[in-house]
Amino acid sequence: MKRSNLLTNHTLIIDELERSIKFYHWNSILSFLPKGSYLVGGYIRDIILERVTEKVDIDIVVPFNAIEIGKMISENIKSKFIVLDKEREVVRIILNHISIDIANQVSSTIEGDLRSRDFSINSIAFLFDKKLLFDPLNGLKDLQFSLLKTNSEINLLNDPLRILRCFRFVSELNFKIDLQLVDFIKKNKGKLYLVAKERINYEIHKIVNGKNALEAVILIKKFNIFGSDNFYKNSFFLDLQKVNYTELNKNEKEKFLPLFFIAQILDEVSLEQFKFSRSEISKTKLLRKWHFLLEKKNIAELSESERFALHKELEIFLPSFVFNLPQNLRLEWLHRWRDKDDKLFHPSNLLNGDLIKKNLKIKDGPILGELLQYLSMELAYKRLNNFDEAIYKAKRWIEQNAPKCD
């Protein structure tokens, strides 16, 4: 299916590129570029797609002396300068929200360089001196048909992270993956583990936060990108095509679906391996803990203390968990969770420990912790109505549970 919201005429694309060059005051950059330099990559792709992004990433290829040229530009515009690859001469200039990568041309021709780039949609070049659009791999046509293609299997192997980047384009831009590229991905997915873990982490976060994250995550599971053929047979992993995501509102989808998707494509060992945060790992462990407990025990059979513990542990990210519940309970749980006054679904900080200590003249320690847990449960199950009742019940609890001294 063709895209309707993109520029297709070369003249219009060039006009828009030149407008953006003026908007970002590129004259101070262009004056340092030697003849034969060209713009390439995602910046041109996004101009064609009429896609506006907060961060501007620019890729420029020069015939020679990329490091020297980058230094001069950086000094002139007073920006941060980083050498990304000294041997291959790749540098980055950062100025506010604009990032400019400058690299030496590797092949003897521009076309040779373009053929070694990751995908055809990123292989469209704008020649600065000739003011010409150069598209030897028909990237513009692939953009029209939302198709992700690569020129060669070697292009994936040169940087296996490109395997994951395929799914990022599915997630962010709703692209389809060319069948030959699918074969390359299946054949080489194991090479992904040669990539720096931080880079994998970055791509996964981009994937799960995209507008079409569901489609991308389904493909990742379908191709078993992060595991063996039996990996997703673990009962924790759900059939994502059968989940009713409309139960979450727009804000909840943006905030809580990424964690749900991460937990549905990676296990705890992989999360640690790929340098996910302690918070993400801890939350995933809790999602798995309660999922497996509810597989063994009907939710109606949970004791008061078990149900209270569930809500206490899952309170801040409960919408990430609701898909593990029976269908008939999901909307009810979401409705109650959305009510900030529901004491069972929001059991954290129900009572002020300092006030309890002051009124009862007790110190920090295990007894205080147990008392607060008891009072919180009483409040959650509506057996407390006010602070005076809490103090009265607390005194009675202490009489029954505090250690006796002879």
DSSP string, 276-294: --HHHHHHHHHHHHHHHHH
Class for domain 10-145, per CATH?
alpha beta
Cα separation, 388 vs 107, in Å, equals 80
- pTM, entire model: 0.89
- Indicate if the pLDDT at residue 7 is higher than 80: no
Domain assignments of the chain as residue spans, ordered by start: 10-145, 353-401
CB atoms < 10 A from the CB of 356, how many? 18
Mean pLDDT in residue range 45-50: 93
Contact in structure between 387 and 358 (CB atoms under 8 Å): no
Contact in structure between 171 and 210 (CB atoms under 8 Å): yes
Per-residue confidence band for 385, with pLDDT thresholds at 50, 70 and 90 = confident
pLDDT score for 96: 86
Q: Which of 178-182, 363-367, 372-376 has the highest mean pLDDT?
A: 178-182
pLDDT score for 268: 92
pLDDT score for 404: 62
- Indicate if the pLDDT at residue 241 is higher than 70: yes
Q: What value does the mean pLDDT of the chain take?
A: 92
pLDDT score for 186: 95
- Indicate if the pLDDT at residue 68 is higher than 90: yes
338 secondary structure, DSSP code: H
- Structure-token pair, residue 341: 């006054």
pLDDT tens digits for 124-153? Answer: 999 999 999 999 999 999 999 999 999 999
pLDDT score for 334: 98
pLDDT score for 5: 61
β-pair partners for 101: 59, 92
Q: Which of 18-22, 30-34, 94-98, 229-233 has the highest mean pLDDT?
A: 30-34
pLDDT score for 252: 98
pLDDT score for 169: 97
- Tell how far CA 34 is from the center of its chain: 38
pLDDT score for 390: 82
pLDDT score for 3: 65
Per-residue confidence band for 394, with pLDDT thresholds at 50, 70 and 90 = confident
Q: Which of 376, 372, 341 is nearest to 357 (CA)?
A: 372
pLDDT score for 24: 74
Mean pLDDT in residue range 337-342: 94
Percent of the chain residues topping a pLDDT of 90: 73
- Structure-token pair, residue 260: 């749900």
- Indicate if the pLDDT at residue 253 is higher than 60: yes
Dihedral sign of CA atoms 329, 332, 338, 341 in order: negative
pLDDT score for 255: 98
Per-residue confidence band for 22, with pLDDT thresholds at 50, 70 and 90 = confident
349 secondary structure, DSSP code: T
> 3-state DSSP helix/strand/coil percent for the chain, to nearest 5?
55, 10, 35
